[in-house]
Structure 1
Amino acid sequence: MYPEELVKPMREDLAGAGFEELHTSEAVENALKKDGTTLVVVNSVCGCAAANARPAAKLSLQNSKTPNNLVTVFAGVDMEAVATARNHMVPFPPSSPSMALFKDGELVHMIERHHIEGRPAELIAENLMEAYNEFC
């Protein structure tokens, strides 16, 4: 478990862009029951989250089509919420950071850590935007 003072700025980075922080299993279940599309970002303290994932998630929102709901859980902190979110991301193995797009509660697009590491935020954002154009 990471100390709150360490993760606070990382949480605020996404929250400031309109992502709702989910801290419980129930909150994740409720978010995924909503109609329309939901982007779930599994936030992380690792360097690729700061350099690539969070900036990509924010940049992707400049697209003409975007998800109806934006939510985030924090790996290593929101244990219950992360576990529930990852259960909905099966068959993909747990990874953080990661991003999943759901449509009416069904997983339709997944970006795993290995798709994030070493790639610029702009390329990851393009991947998300293509998914938004198809599913949103």
Structure 2
Amino acid sequence: MYPAELVKPMREDLTNFGFEELHTAEAVDAALAKEGTTLVVVNSVCGCAAANARPGARMSLDNEKKPANIVTVFAGVDKEAVNQARQHMVPFPPSSPCIALFKDGELVHMLERHHIEGRPAEVIAENLKDAYNANC
């Protein structure tokens, strides 16, 4: 587990933008039980989270259609919440960072680490905007 002071700025990169942090399995289930669309960002300390995933997720919300709910769990920190979120992301294998869009509790779009790593944040944002336009 990573020390709280180490991950604080990485958490705030999303929470300062309006993402709700989920720390428990129950919180994940409650977030995904909501009607409408929910974006889940599995945050991470890695460079591709900092350079690609978090900026891409933030930029994607500059769109006419967007998820009703935006939440995040932190890999290596919120173990229970991350494990529960990943249960909802089956059949995709665990990866971090990753970004998932749910509609009425069902997974409708997934960006795994290999879709994020090495791709500019703008490309990730456009991918997510396409998913919002189709599902939100």
Please say whether Structure 1 and Structure 2 have the same fold, judged by a TM-score greater than 0.5.
yes
2:109 aligned partner, one-letter code: H
1:118 alignment partner in structure 2? 118
The Cα shift of 1:2 comes to: 0.2
Give, in angstroms, the shift of residue 22 of structure 1. Answer: 0.2
Equivalent residue runs for 1:73-84 within 5 Å: 73-84=73-84
1:45 maps to which residue?
A: 45
Instruction: Give the structure 2 partner of residue 23 of structure 1.
Output: 23
Query: 5+ unaligned residues in a row in structure 2: which ranges?
Result: none
**Partner Cα distance (1:46, 1:78) in 2:** 16
Cα offset, 1:27, TM superposition: 0.2
Once residues 17 and 67 of structure 2 are traced to their aligned partners in structure 1, the CA distance between those partners, rounded to angstroms, is 13
Residue matched to 2:66: 66
Q: Does 1:133 align with 2:103?
A: no
Matched residue, 1:87? 87
Does residue 54 of structure 1 match 2:57? no
Give the TM-score of the pair, scaled to structure 1: 1.00
- Partner of residue 104, structure 1: 104
Instruction: Give the 3-state SS of the residue equivalent to 1:76 in structure 2.
Output: coil
Q: How many residues align?
A: 136
The amino acid across from 1:16 in the alignment is N
Return structure 1 stretches of 4+ with deviation > 3 angstroms: none
**Distance apart, 1:29 and its partner CA:** 0.3
Which amino acid letter does the alignment assign opposite residue 41 of structure 1?
V
Distance in 2, Cα, partners of 1:47 & 1:56: 13
* Corresponding residue of 1:12: 12
> Distance between the aligned counterparts of 1:36 and 1:17, measured in 2?
20
Match of 2:34 in 1: 34
Query: How far apart, CA to CA, are the structure 2 residues paired with 1:92 and 1:21?
Result: 22
Report % sequence identity: 79
3-state SS, counterpart of residue 18 of structure 2: coil
C-alpha RMSD of the superposition: 0.3
